[in-house]
Structure 1
Amino acid sequence: MRQRVMVVGIDGSESSRRAAAYAVGLAGREGARLIGVYVRPLPSSMVSMADTSGAAAASVVASQDEVVTEFHDTLRRERTRSGVDMEIVVRQGDPFTELCQAANETWADAVIVGRSESLLHRIAGSVAQRLVRCGRWPVTVVP
């Protein structure tokens, strides 16, 4: 019998931190492997045109690297404390598309994400809402 797999989306927001903490606990109770997926957004063409020196782009990449580093540190601590088999995957593109692809590739049994903190996402549809509507996996949305 294969080990269960859970995918958690992380983006550095407070709700994604709570989702990651919840996912670690759930994976520990279920004896599942946990895969954290961080999706770097594609660079905006408007930023590229306005940023001829590259300083803004470098700042964005540095802040994205901080999120990845923070999650790596959390993984190291939690792996030692909880014994959960965890890893992080970094991708680039659309968060919904990349989370779906990661869940498909790993044969995920569940996907866990934080609730969107953006008012626009609540109106137009968030990654969490799109994952739920997709209906491929059980999706837990952590507030």
Structure 2
Amino acid sequence: MDKYGVLVGYSGSAPSRRALSYAAGLARRSGAALIIVHVARQNPVASLLGYEPPGIAKGPHGGAHTLVRQLACDEHLSGLAWTLVRRSGVIAEELEKVGRRYKANAIIVGRTRGTRSGLIRSISDTLARRAQRPVIVVP
């Protein structure tokens, strides 16, 4: 099995915490390491102006350090090999890019409640339609 056989999208929301729990169990049962991907949504206008969103903050009191501390305390990750990858951009696209880079066997995401207008698709729907690997959506 590949070193990073299980990839999970994580934002700290309730659906992503459930997805993390499921992914950790799957990684543990299959003997695979877990790659946790946090993607900060990118605002095109802010990017043009050189603004970095708060989710990408650097330093001892924000961003990656805080997220790593939160994950280190998660009981589902106890005794499991895992790593955190932080990205900025379109969430579904970034999850698929990281999946390709690490040759993930599956992408696991929590179910998001997108708009029902049909104009905007949820992350899980977009991944299920476009990803080149299995997508597991955790309710």
In the TM superposition, residue 98 of structure 1 has moved relative to its aligned partner by 0.7
TM-score of the two chains, using structure 2 as the length reference: 0.77
TM-score of the two chains, using structure 1 as the length reference: 0.75
1:108 aligns with 2:104: yes
In the TM superposition, residue 77 of structure 1 has moved relative to its aligned partner by 3.1
In the TM superposition, residue 82 of structure 1 has moved relative to its aligned partner by 3.4
Contact 1:4 1:31 in 2 (8 A): no
Higher mean alpha-carbon deviation, 39-48 vs 11-20, is at 39-48
Alignment partner of 2:85 out of 75, 89, 92: 89
In the TM superposition, residue 110 of structure 1 has moved relative to its aligned partner by 0.8
1:35-86: CA deviations, max 9, x gaps?
Answer: 111111213527988xxxxxxx68x50x565675554234323589632110
Alignment partner of 2:128 out of 127, 132, 135: 132
Contact 2:2 2:104 in 1 (8 A): no
Where does the alignment leave 5 or more consecutive residues of structure 1 unmatched? 50-56
Give the Cα separation in 2 of the matches to 1:122 and 1:19.
Answer: 24
Within 5 Å, give how 1:1-143 maps onto structure 2.
2-3=2-3, 5-45=5-45, 61=54, 68-69=64-65, 71-78=67-74, 82-120=78-116, 124-143=120-139
Give the Cα separation in 1 of the matches to 2:8 and 2:103.
Answer: 13
Where does the alignment leave 5 or more consecutive residues of structure 2 unmatched? none
User: SS where residue 137 of structure 2 aligns?
Assistant: strand
Structure having the higher Rg: 1
Corresponding residue pairs, total: 135
Q: Match of 1:92, as an amino acid? A: S
More helix by share: 1
Give the Cα separation in 1 of the matches to 2:83 and 2:36.
Answer: 6
In the TM superposition, residue 127 of structure 1 has moved relative to its aligned partner by 1.5
Residues 89 and 2 of structure 1, relative CA distance in 2, 3 Å threshold: closer
Give the Cα separation in 1 of the matches to 2:20 and 2:63.
Answer: 12
The two structures, once aligned, show a CA RMSD in angstroms of 3.1
Contact 2:5 2:32 in 1 (8 A): yes
Percent of aligned pairs with the same amino acid = 32
